[in-house]
Structure 1
Amino acid sequence: SYAWNSTHDVDITVQENTQFRMVINATDRELRLFRRSIGGTNPLSVSAVRYQYPNGTIINGSTFQSRGGEVRQTREETVIGFPDSDSQPPGKIAFTSSGNRKRFSLPTYVDGSYQLTLPPNRRVEFPIFGSVSPGGSQKRIDEQNRLEITWESMDAETASARFYLQRDLYIFGGVLGGIILVGLGGLYRYRQRIHRLRKERQEMGLDIEADDE
């Protein structure tokens, strides 16, 4: 279900299956959704569109269209137009889209506060595998062991997070520890071999320097 009760202007919940659910508190009659690419922008694919009126009433996609709402796609963006545009201010729009297994990144479509909730057991603290942009966010773990990342005032063009499973970090630590142990073992054997060869040379008199006459 969508986070209709969120107190943030934009609420994003990343699912286990890499899809994410997004709820946006609309500030205009149209919302333009896109992803940035090297050549410009591409439309963001959306599904399960829902709309909540300011009075709390929620309508589905078919009712959304019958009341004047629309979802249309151009070559550069997906445009969502809100229903009853002349009768009352816009409410909240929600939709589902697809993402990446270990990374979330989208343009910031509206101003205001943002909250990004990751799937259970995901973290961002370890620098090699995790990061959050822009800075200045607050983080907390909810009762479902999900990391919530909050920006009280978004001032960047893109919000992104690279994250990892906690167990992946433990596996990486174990592998790295194994590599270090193997390396130390190899170094020890190498030093032992050098010591043995030096001792053999000394026993054979090869390391005894002749005195200059």
Structure 2
Amino acid sequence: MRRRRVLALLALVGMLLLSGCLGFFGDDSVPAERLDQEPAGDGYAWNESVDVHVTVRADSTFQGVYRVNGSELVLYRNDGLGGRNPLDVRAVRYRYPNGTVIDGSTLAERGSVRETRDEVTIRTPVAGGQVAFTAESTPKRFVVPTYVEGSYEVVLPPDRDVSVPVFGRVSPGGAETRTDAQDRVHVTWDEVATDTVLVQFYLERDLSLFGGLLAVFGALAIVGVAYYRRQIRELRETREEMGLDVDVGDDDGRDPPPGRR
């Protein structure tokens, strides 16, 4: 009986290994249809002078262009528990140092694009060049690990801002901001050596909405305080009429208390 249990356990482990459930023999390649998707908008910003250029889009995605120092780029997100999850990259492109751009499936053939439980590893055909991709972001908050150290630029969607504290936040400090002709805020760092880049932003109309709500709640608070004070005053007057708040030390014994005349 014990031998049968051992054999059954070994068979189950073997099935899991062969099916890739344990991550040892599963296919870790990224599908070509995902790699070769067309980037949204005007495509990738290849010609910027920074080492990392990120365009955050209004649909809660971002387009990143990373200058590769060697021949490998590892992409992931921190899960908040000390672990990692692979970044959901798509529309991957590689630009050779001479300016030639290839799509994701060609990059996978000439180099490699592999996804595991923890990360996506992109190996380029030659050292250097730029890797571009599209991935999911978070509404009103862009945050990713620092895959590449160097200069950074994060471009926000139109009508977004970071200048008001609490609503807006930029990390690491020392960033410069400017607004272009399309009303897009550019956040730039000359050098980023921290573990994470974070830009928390807001729609400009959010401030007007918040100001309106604050005014409404302020008015309600004033009305509430006035009503409360009126109720207290009426209650005091009622008690005085009933003689409940009369100090007996002031009673001369001749006249009845107020309200009992």
TM over 0.5: yes
Q: Which residue of 2 aligns with 1:76?
A: 118
Q: Which residue of 2 aligns with 1:94?
A: 132
Q: Which residue of 1 aligns with 2:46?
A: 4
TM-score normalised by the chain length of structure 2: 0.74
Equivalent AA in structure 2 for residue 60 of structure 1: D
Q: Does the alignment pair 1:188 with 2:226? A: yes
CA contact under 8 A between 2:160 and 2:203: conserved in structure 1?
Answer: yes
Pairing of 1:24-103 with structure 2 (within 5 A): 24-37=66-79, 38-66=81-109, 68-83=110-125, 85=126, 89-103=127-141
Equivalent AA in structure 1 for residue 186 of structure 2: E
How far has the Cα of 1:126 moved from its partner?
2.9
CA contact under 8 A between 2:144 and 2:198: conserved in structure 1?
Answer: yes
Higher strand share: 1
How far has the Cα of 1:175 moved from its partner?
1.0
Q: Which residue of 2 aligns with 1:176?
A: 214
Q: Distance in 1 between matches of 2:247 and 2:139?
A: 67
Summarize deviations over 1:16-61 as a string: whole Å, max 9, x none. 1111000011101111111112141111121111111222222222
How far has the Cα of 1:201 moved from its partner?
4.1
**Structure 2 SS opposite 1:152:** strand
Q: Distance in 1 between matches of 2:113 and 2:229?
A: 71
Summarize deviations over 1:49-94 as a string: whole Å, max 9, x none. 111122222222233344x1221112221111111x2xxx421110
**Structure 1 SS opposite 2:192:** coil
CA contact under 8 A between 2:107 and 2:113: conserved in structure 1?
Answer: no
Q: Distance in 2 between matches of 1:161 and 1:46?
A: 20
Equivalent AA in structure 2 for residue 151 of structure 1: W
**Structure 2 SS opposite 1:199:** helix
Equivalent AA in structure 1 for residue 101 of structure 2: I
Pairing of 1:12-23 with structure 2 (within 5 A): 12-23=54-65
Q: Distance in 2 between matches of 1:156 and 1:5?
A: 25
TM-score normalised by the chain length of structure 1: 0.89
Equivalent AA in structure 1 for residue 217 of structure 2: I
**Structure 2 SS opposite 1:106:** strand
Q: Which has the larger radius of gyration?
A: 2
Kindly tell me the number of residue pairs found equivalent between the two proteins. 208
How far has the Cα of 1:203 moved from its partner?
4.8
- Percent identity between the aligned chains? 48
Q: Does the alignment pair 1:157 with 2:200? A: no
Equivalent AA in structure 2 for residue 8 of structure 1: V
Kindly indicate whether structure 1 or structure 2 has the higher relative contact order, using CA contacts under 8 Å at least 6 residues apart.
1
Alignment partner of 2:235 out of 191, 197, 200: 197
**Structure 2 SS opposite 1:75:** coil
How far has the Cα of 1:206 moved from its partner?
4.6
Name the CA shift for 1:65/1:202 in 2 (closer, same or farther; >3 Å). closer
Q: Which residue of 2 aligns with 1:132?
A: 170
Query: Which structure 2 residue ranges, 5 or more long, are not aligned?
Result: 1-42, 253-261
Q: Distance in 1 between matches of 2:211 and 2:195?
A: 35
